[in-house]
Amino acid sequence: MNWIAWALLLVVVLVGIPRYFAASGFRWPVKQSLTSILLMMVLAISGTLAAIGNHMPDAGQVPRELVIIVSVAAATFGGGPVTETVFRLAAFKHARKDTRETLVLDASPLRGGMWIGLLERAAIASTLWAAWPEGLAVVLAVKGLGRFSELKQHAAAEQFILGTFVSVLWACAAVGVGLLVSI
């Protein structure tokens, strides 16, 4: 069962990676929100199977190195689509035009977020696997200092907080599933 959980963790990586090629014209056939739901479901199923598999006799043990590599990759690449979906949900504002309700999407006040998010999730997952939780403080402090001047804008501060929370939670969840698989 642990091998199935590990394979599902690998699926998270494979589903998450295409999003980063969108700028090159690649189009993922599934909508962003559905991709995010799929990623969350696969990660949850992987964790559930790993937890169940740990209580079964003669459970096949996945080599720890494979688990670490795949869980860091899942944390890094799977979190982007989920973070973007949260941004889209948070950015919608209801506006009235005549008697019909329309949805307006705010432009992002922060630039370079995709690359910062990739590095942030990789660093968080790596520090957790290295059993160095203080690394979380270092990663978040560097991120906060790098964005300090931009955080004076309310919209930028809100996006920064949302992105950080989603990225940290996703990376912790991916490492948590990895820990369950490697037990």
Q: Look at residues 182, 180, 170, 125 and name the one whose alpha carbon lies nearest to residue 16.
A: 170
- State residue 61's pLDDT score: 82
Residue 133: per-residue pLDDT: 86
* Cα 67 to Cα 48: distance, rounded to the nearest angstrom: 16
| DSSP sequence for 115-137 | HHHHHHHHHHHHHHHTT-THHHH
Cross-strand pairs, 70: none
d(CA 36, CA 48): 18
Q: Could you read off the pLDDT tens digit of each residue along the chain, which spans 183 residues? A: 788 999 999 999 999 888 777 766 666 667 878 889 999 999 999 999 998 887 776 656 889 999 999 999 999 999 988 988 888 888 765 444 444 545 444 455 555 678 888 999 999 999 999 999 899 999 988 887 877 666 677 677 788 888 899 999 999 999 999 999 988
Q: Would you say 182 and 46 are in contact if contact means Cβ atoms under 8 Å apart?
A: no
Q: What local confidence, expressed as pLDDT, does residue 78 receive?
A: 93
The secondary element (H helix, E strand) that includes residue 100 is strand 100-105
Which pLDDT does position 2 carry in this prediction? 85
Q: Give the tokens for residue 83.
A: 């973070």
Amino acid 146 reads: G
Helix/strand/coil for 95: strand
Query: What pLDDT was estimated at residue 173?
Result: 96
CB 136 within 8 A of CB 175: no
Rounded distance between C-alpha atoms, residue 78 and residue 15, angstroms: 7
Give the whole-angstrom CA distance, residue 83 versus residue 76.
11
Residue closest to 136 by CA, chosen among 168, 161, 178: 168
Structure tokens at 66: 């494979």
